[in-house]
Structure 1
Amino acid sequence: MTADIHRPRPPLRLGFVGGALNSAVGYAHFVSSTLDNRFEVVAGCFSRHPDVNAEAGAAYAVAPERVHADWHTLLERERDSLDALVVLTPTPAHAPILATALDAGVPVICEKALATSHAQALHIQESVQRNGGFLAVTYNYTGYPMVRELRQLIRDGLLGQLQQIHVEMPQEGFLRTTDGELPHPQIWRLHDGTIPTVSLDLGVHAHHLVEFLSGQHVLEVVADQRCFGHFPTIIDDISCMARYSGGIRVNYWYGKTALGYRNGLRIRIFGSKASAQWLQAEPELLSIYHADGRREQVDRGSSGLRVASRPRYNRFKPGHPAGFVEAFANLYADIADLLQQRRQGQAHPQSEYVFGANSASAGLAFLEAVTASMHSHAWQPVAGQPPAQEQ
């Protein structure tokens, strides 16, 4: 059953690994997880640096004795008092934390990207299956009400047969200067592995949005990768075309050197009966263009909505825009529902909005094919099978 934000329930207990106040995502996870009183942060190892660790613990109202110096100690002392562990470290550090937590029987919520390679994701996936564990990966853009509305419109056939999808996520952070100073990305983002870090940052979101909305999976891809920014040793701009099941063609563009775009995420979906467009910069609006020439814009206050009018998406009345944190909170509410169902003994709880290791593995296989295509200058098949329903 879908979460109802107005129904009181005791909050579930979270421990954070990473996510200090100086991290890129920590405060967003803290605010969104606690927004609807579905979770509370009760313990953590927020940073390897003692002063930063203590500062975050105080800001998140965590008792000092439950702020631990390292994640090993956190798991050892808190494993029986947590409902889930939230992993917010840089992506290259995820694998050992996830493996240890899953082997200890602790449910895990992990910031994307799950891993740095397809092989690494498969090992994590095997750990989930071996332990009968719980793993949710946070792709927060799918938490926006109008994205979920669009998904349901597609499911209901309003757009007809899907033909093309164009998704782009341009940002400017690796080229824009501030008061004449060059940008200062986190050090780990300035090293590319099997998959370029820009793909782990942005490509995973783009891929997940396409599969979330279309219900189809990628078959093969042809791609180009470039460096346009101030850091010549890394890839910072990627374009590709992909062939999907269902006969869909998808165009991707994402990168960090598009001046003028703080975060220009946009998705356009073209079908035989209608097309639709959603922009993250205007998250409350969904534009629909019909074959008879009609154009409409819908928001949470429009009549005839399938999803976005539900109480859980209306913390404030339409006209009071919801945004990034609320979208994250919607996803956390879905995760909380699944964790509650597991606690109540349901053998196979499921959610149409929560995705784990299978989906993450499929995304990383796609991103590895993007890199392989750039090197081969040819279409590249994507390894693996379409992800199954996981949670």
Structure 2
Amino acid sequence: MKRSAIGAVGIGIVALIAAARLAAMPAPGLILGGTGETSLQHEQAALKAARIQSEQARERSERLEQQASAARDEADQARRRAAAMAARIQQAEADIQAAQARIAIIARMQRAQAARLAAKQEPVVRLTAALQMMARRPLALALVQPGSVSDAVHMRAVLGQILPVIQDRTAGLRAELERSRALRETAEQAAGSLAQSQADLRDRQLALQTLETRKRLAAKDYRSNASLESDRALALGERARDIVDLMDRLQAAGDLRDELAALPGPLLRPARPDLTAAPAPTLRRQSGGPPPYRLPVMGQLVTGMGELSESGVRSRGLTIVTQAGALAVAPTAGRVVFAGPYRGYGQIMILDHGGGWTTLITGLLRLSASVGDNVRQGDPLGSAGPGRPSITIELRRNGRPVDIVPLVGLG
């Protein structure tokens, strides 16, 4: 009787400990590596920011899709549908970042859970070992020893007092075990969400390639003088001392082009001179406030304007770490005045927004817009490289750097 009672208690505790150890082990492939280098607050902030970016991208895609449906011109419709698909791609990229942040948070919680389970298991393990030693005592030896019957009665009474204590000690272990199982299920859901977002991203990237092809075919006047303008931009790039000098030269060339375009054309002789109306006033570009602006890529801000880099160079813009192959879009409407590789900056793009405003985007791997293209806000410009690429954005007005943070609501 004593032996069976002790054995039953020991087996129950051993089973509970084994289940706890199994629950504390994360399933392979569910947890991303490298989560120990960030704080919980950082991961929670990244999750919140990614969800906001995803919602904003979804709203943009719906708005652009409505505009595309209302467009009459085939080229304009193709262009707006490409911009809408670009927004859906950035929504998928933000969803991936949200899933990764969620997985990092769950991984941190699982590590803390495993530590709590280990702390609660230790006293229960010692108690189990003592009960197992008592259960291994030979029954025949107990019968021939003096007082063995009274000892058995006494042991039963002791077990009756110990069992409530064991139940109290294992209750906390059972609660932690249930929480660990819930965390495991949440980790599986997060991994499934990540896989779905990655599949959506691949599908939308293929769809964008098709839409960009249609957009080029639908443009009747596609790049009639692009070769000449591109050659001029490359020549300016070769003569420029550095990237700042390049932007200044391109802005000067753009200002000259705007002034020439604003000149009145030749006046035709009217058929009825007596009915000639007064000439329309010449429209001149007004240099007002900053254009409506947004960040060209989805990701995490790692360097702000004015911060010093490891090499001691002060930043003139924002640097964002993004996903491999992330899509870059136009931060606001403008004209592409430079597109190509430049002296250690990777593939770069410079946009002229008029009124002295220009944008520089560096660190791209592939460009989908060319010199001379007029782009709207949200039009695809190119994509980032593999790994965890860094994209830098600089906004200038009349050659002076402008802080982007207040314009995009990050302040």
Q: Which protein is bigger by CA-based radius of gyration?
A: 2
Between Structure 1 and Structure 2, the one with more helix by share is 2
Instruction: Give the TM-score band, short-chain normalised.
Output: under 0.3
**How high is the TM-score relative to the length of structure 1?**
0.20
Higher-strand-fraction structure:
1
Superposition TM-score, scaled by structure 2 size: 0.19
- Larger RCO: Structure 1 or Structure 2 (Cα < 8 Å, ≥ 6 residues apart)? 1
